[in-house]
Amino acid sequence: MTRTYCIKFLIAALLVFLGTALINLIADPYGIWDTPHINGVNTSKYSGFHSRIQKYVEWAHWTKPPQTILLGTSRTAVGLRTDHRALQNGTTYNMALGGQPVHESLVLFKHALKSGTLRSAVIGLDFFAFNAYWATDAIDEKRLIPGSNFDLLFSTGTFTDSLTTIRQSLPAIKIMRADHATDNDAMDNTHTSSDAIPMHLRFTEVEKIFVSYHRPFPYHLYSYSNPKTGENTLEDFRELLSLAYANNIELRFFISPSHAWHWEGLANIGLWQNWEQWKRELTKINKEEADKAEKSSYPLWDFSGYNSITTETVPALNTAQQMKWYSDSSHYSAACGDLILDRIFEHADPARPIPDDFGILIDDRNINAHLSGIRAARKHYADSHAPDVKEMANLSKQVWNH
């Protein structure tokens, strides 16, 4: 009796196991198993992991090994073009990913080094990505090993994403309006595109998110180290620099130029001094690793703060006007990204002159004077953009109940 029960249980477990794998294979929620697209089944890759895992699989099988890579968060991912004139000497990959923490940048940098062809890298640095308490969706580095994704077929997490993929791929269901009697009056379930969202609203909604990102739940802390995980983001940064110096990689760093609203939000939740100290740490570590390698420090550019680009006027509420340099308060446009690459590569394009105050080269010698200049620029911004500053202060209070 017991033996028969055990056999039936094992058979049932095996069927569930194989059934899970079959559904995952058919849904292919990450687009990595080359399953043909089936309308109503797997055409909508909804999962937040989709693009990340797909990229890891792509980088595990270089079509052409990289000569240049771009690293950083979504700001770098959407703001920098690999076809910029300064990046056309060899194969360039944009390996920046949404919310990419420093450790993930290090993992991807090491992976690119293994190709044996890497010559240069451009890395966007973001303050929140150095917070060791900030939860991310970074993928295990084993995904960069060819053929390492077989286990995902049997993963319950993949199964959940498969069900979401199938649900999102189903044909839209027409729902009759309660106040109409004909089938022709179906509810319009079309999602509004982000471009249709007023720019002012986009700014405020994104800032609500980033104010929370800077003080992540449940810790509400900003720290370079997390005792529970053993993570130390500054040490990750140091290791990346050390590897770059040791391998003679031509490295260029820059601090991303989010809009002035973003820096106001950061100040309103008490992280201004942390932000300044972070920049001091970057210049300090850069100098220390250069001295160890007996080389000149890598160029570190700061595009953040309050300058001609980052103080672009935010359109009034309920207007459809778009902005030239920003898609929201955190993310700069490709037009702005072109100026960044022009500056750090000393590339001149008469069609797009770079404002003199956009992009300051910083090191251990000028960092304090530079930070003092940003403080003065902030005061000027507060005087000239009082309504914006007040709105950001109120928004931060709403999020943190100050």
Q: 398 and 391 in contact (C-beta within 8 Å)?
A: no
Q: 112 and 132 in contact (C-beta within 8 Å)?
A: no
d(CA 391, CA 156): 44
- Take residue 224 and report the two structure tokens written for it: 């370079």
SS3 of 2, please?
helix
How high is the pLDDT of residue 192? 38
d(CA 213, CA 222): 10
How high is the pLDDT of residue 115? 93
Q: What are the helix (H) ranges across 61-198?
A: 74-79, 102-114, 156-169
Collect all residues with Cβ–Cβ distance below 8 Å to 110 and sequence separation of at least 6.
243
Is pTM, for the whole model, over 0.85?
no
SS3 of 295, please?
coil
d(CA 212, CA 186): 38
CATH of 62-149+198-400, one of 2.60.40, 3.40.50, 2.60.120, 1.20.1300: 3.40.50
Q: 116 and 66 in contact (C-beta within 8 Å)?
A: no
SS3 of 145, please?
coil
Q: What's the length of the chain?
A: 402
SS3 of 252, please?
strand
How high is the pLDDT of residue 49? 59
Tens digit of each residue's pLDDT, the chain (402 residues): 577 777 766 776 677 666 777 776 776 777 766 678 777 667 776 655 567 788 888 898 888 999 999 999 999 999 999 999 999 888 999 999 988 999 999 999 999 999 999 999 999 999 999 999 876 555 677 777 776 676 676 677 777 777 777 777 777 543 333 333 323 322 233 333 455 688 999 999 999 888 877 777 666 789 999 998 888 999 999 999 999 999 999 999 999 999 999 999 999 999 999 999 999 999 999 999 999 999 999 999 999 999 999 999 999 988 889 999 999 999 999 999 999 999 999 998 999 999 999 999 999 999 999 999 999 999 999 999 999 999 999 988 887 764
SS3 of 292, please?
helix
How high is the pLDDT of residue 138? 59
Task: Determine how β-strand 250-255 pairs with β-strand 120-125.
Answer: parallel
**Position of tokens 């590339």?**
347
d(CA 345, CA 121): 12
d(CA 56, CA 105): 12
- Would you list the domain boundaries of the chain? 62-149+198-400
Residue 239: its H or E element: helix 233-246
DSSP category for residue 332: B
